[in-house]
Amino acid sequence: MNRADLETMAQREVQRQQTFRCRILCCASTPCLSSGGSAVHDAIKDAIKEGGFDADFQAVATGCMGPCSRGPMITVQTSGGEDVIYEHVTPEASRQIVAHHAAASPAPVEYILPGDIPFFAKQKKVVLANSGFIDPERLEDYVARGGYTALGYALREMTPETVCREIIDSGLRGRGGAGYPTGLKWDMVRKARGDRKYVVANGDEGDPGAYMDRTLMESDPHRLLEGMAIAGYAVGADQGFLYVRGEYPIAAKRLERAIRAAERRGLLGSRVLDSNFNFRVDVRIGAGAFVCGEETALMASIMGMRGQPVPRPPYPAQSGLWEKPTLINNVETLGSIAPIIQHGAAWFAEIGTAKSKGTKIFALAGKVDTTGLIEVPMGITLREIVYDIGGGIPDGLDFKAAQTGGPSGGCIPAAHLDTPMDYESLRALGSIMGSGGLIIMDERSCMVDVAKFFMEFCMDESCGKCVPCRVGTVQMHHLLERITTGSATAQDLETLQDLCVMVKETSLCGLGQSAPNPVLSTIHYFLEEYMAHIRDHQCLAGVCTLDQAPITELALV
């Protein structure tokens, strides 16, 4: 296939779609499936068949539409009309919906979710532009929306150097958490010497409370593959690995299928789009280890070893997989590549703030009215996310804190609700952008307990290689446990803080270096809560048991 064939394929698919008067898009992403999405999809297909609307109506299983707590979601596209979005759809309701669009019978208004609510209006879809609109299992759907044209353009009109330049100019930064400029990383791998080079897409999304990467992989797998192929061309790699978290079997399956479909059409494999560029992609399934999100541990895992990190330098860009130069990018980062090539670096750099360009996907969860997956321009304030997009805190309670960055991040208190969400601002508050988990907490959450929750996570996920992380996390967890059970002394808080700083500075990899962040951040903003536990044996949120006393008080009894 060449670029002209691609164009033909796109036109044919667009024409095909236009023959339908009404396209009913059913979300087949994990959250909607869990709330009964497949029954809804079946009911719609049945209703279309029974009504004899086969020629006019098309039912499409798509990726995520966003407001997961309102699922199952469906979107109805009518020729000439506006899209109509329905929430909490039941099989019964879906029959009504089909009937309504077929015969203009009354619309089941109680299921309609207005398309202009802030949840949608405040978002900006770049990476997720196709999500919810295409069938992720059909290559044609992706191509019809301009898919693979960016790859074709890069291969024909650009040199590897100009591709790297374009990514540098776009200001794109790694979406996995640290925010390293993506273009610079590419350029480093491009310049590195090696007879073979590799591209790795990091889809080992381990943060509890985050599912951006899974959604992207499930909803628009080809976009990721296209991003990988462009990256491969830019750095001179002919092999890519897609490391998918083991908990995401649907994503892995869809990606495998997408790879096969793309290879069949000559969009991956040998002589991509009739050029001299060869690029193969293999899926590797993770097996449950948070530390594998760290790039050197991830590479160990791809090579079939225990997922233990190794000290850097050398960086993967010089010596990665099998000691060859290796480019590792987060899935969301690679998802931004095709739009940048397609619309240009300047277009991308227009979105966001001075130092944080583009959009960021967040998994908004916890105590907000509407939870789900959102894509917003960098620099939007936390308040807009919580109160406009999320619809505020339910049950008339007050916002207490937002947790970003998962076990590596920190908590942002109400006083900083107007902070713009960008790399620098979040870091200044002692948190990090992280991969995009955003958990909102109300007054019923105890911040000491939250810190303990994350520390327990890090303790379980520590690989055990370096001493500060392996033993330090256990000791920090112990100290937090003492605070929440009431057996801590004021001395313990000091010991805890000391230990946090040491573990942060001496651990071998990012997991250990950031494990103390949730503790340090909660101590910083909620010291009074810690003190209330230790001094007054009181948990204001009513979470902790506090049923024990310090050992030194035993003798006094």
The least distance separating other proteins from the CB of residue 443, rounded to whole angstroms, comes to: 12
Find the binding residues for other proteins in span 10-69 (CB under 8 A). 28, 30-31, 33-35, 38, 67-69
* CA 511 from centre of chain: 18
- Report the residue number, 152 or 203, with the smaller CB distance to other proteins: 203
Is 124 an interacting residue with respect to other proteins (CB under 8 A)? Answer: no
Question: In sequence order, which residues have a C-beta less than 8 Å from that of residue 307 and are 6 or more positions away?
Answer: 289, 291, 292, 297, 298, 300, 301, 463
The least distance separating other proteins from the CB of residue 123, rounded to whole angstroms, comes to: 15
Report the residue from 166, 187, 207, 226 that binds other proteins according to the rule CB under 8 A: 207
- Report the residue number, 20 or 525, with the smaller CB distance to other proteins: 525
The least distance separating other proteins from the CB of residue 439, rounded to whole angstroms, comes to: 5
Q: Which stretch binds other proteins (CB under 8 A): 3-11, 100-108, 123-131, 362-370?
A: 362-370
CA atoms of 415 and 412, how far apart (whole Å): 8
CB-CB contact of 48 with 76 (8 Å)? no
Q: Nearest to residue 215, comparing CAs of 381, 365, 43, 409?
A: 365
CB-CB contact of 63 with 221 (8 Å)? no
Structure tokens belonging to residue 94: 């879906």
372-399: buried (b, 16+ CB within 10 Å) or exposed (e) per residue? bbbbbbbbbbbebbbbbbbbebeeeeeb
Helices (H) and strands (E) in the chain, counts: 23, 14
Is 324 an interacting residue with respect to other proteins (CB under 8 A)? Answer: yes
Report the residue from 464, 524, 527, 535 that binds other proteins according to the rule CB under 8 A: 464
Torsion on CA atoms 514, 519, 525, 526, rounded to nearest 10: 170
How many chain residues bind other proteins (CB under 8 A)? Answer: 94
Is 403 an interacting residue with respect to other proteins (CB under 8 A)? Answer: yes
- Report the residue number, 340 or 448, with the smaller CB distance to other proteins: 448
Q: How many CB atoms lie within 10 A of CB 9?
A: 18
- Report the residue number, 6 or 258, with the smaller CB distance to other proteins: 258
The least distance separating other proteins from the CB of residue 321, rounded to whole angstroms, comes to: 7
Beta bridge partners of 282: 241
State the DSSP string of 160-199. Answer: HHHHHHHHHHHT-B-TTSS--BHHHHHHHHHHS--S--EE
Report the residue from 339, 352, 406, 436 that binds other proteins according to the rule CB under 8 A: 406
- Report the residue number, 30 or 356, with the smaller CB distance to other proteins: 30
The least distance separating other proteins from the CB of residue 66, rounded to whole angstroms, comes to: 9
Is 508 an interacting residue with respect to other proteins (CB under 8 A)? Answer: yes
Report the residue from 50, 161, 322, 346 that binds other proteins according to the rule CB under 8 A: 322
Report the residue from 209, 221, 293, 510 that binds other proteins according to the rule CB under 8 A: 209
Report the residue from 307, 358, 390, 486 that binds other proteins according to the rule CB under 8 A: 307
The least distance separating other proteins from the CB of residue 6, rounded to whole angstroms, comes to: 27
Quick one: three-class SS letters along 316-329? CCCCCHHHCCEEEE
Report the residue from 10, 234, 289, 361 that binds other proteins according to the rule CB under 8 A: 289
- Report the residue number, 93 or 363, with the smaller CB distance to other proteins: 363
CB-CB contact of 84 with 66 (8 Å)? no
Strand 372-377 and strand 239-244: the pairing is unpaired
Q: Is the peptide bond before 313 cis (omega within 30 degrees of 0)?
A: yes
- Report the residue number, 123 or 308, with the smaller CB distance to other proteins: 308
Report the residue from 52, 114, 288, 394 that binds other proteins according to the rule CB under 8 A: 288
CB-CB contact of 410 with 518 (8 Å)? yes
Is 87 an interacting residue with respect to other proteins (CB under 8 A)? Answer: no
The least distance separating other proteins from the CB of residue 555, rounded to whole angstroms, comes to: 4
Is 162 an interacting residue with respect to other proteins (CB under 8 A)? Answer: no
- Report the residue number, 17 or 475, with the smaller CB distance to other proteins: 475
- Report the residue number, 111 or 248, with the smaller CB distance to other proteins: 248
CA atoms of 525 and 533, how far apart (whole Å): 15
CA atoms of 148 and 157, how far apart (whole Å): 14
Residue 376 DSSP SS3: strand
The least distance separating other proteins from the CB of residue 336, rounded to whole angstroms, comes to: 21
Q: How many CB atoms lie within 10 A of CB 466?
A: 20
The least distance separating other proteins from the CB of residue 12, rounded to whole angstroms, comes to: 27
Specify the residue for token string 């002589």: 271
The least distance separating other proteins from the CB of residue 19, rounded to whole angstroms, comes to: 27
Report the residue from 506, 531, 538, 549 that binds other proteins according to the rule CB under 8 A: 506
The least distance separating other proteins from the CB of residue 287, rounded to whole angstroms, comes to: 3
Is 430 an interacting residue with respect to other proteins (CB under 8 A)? Answer: no
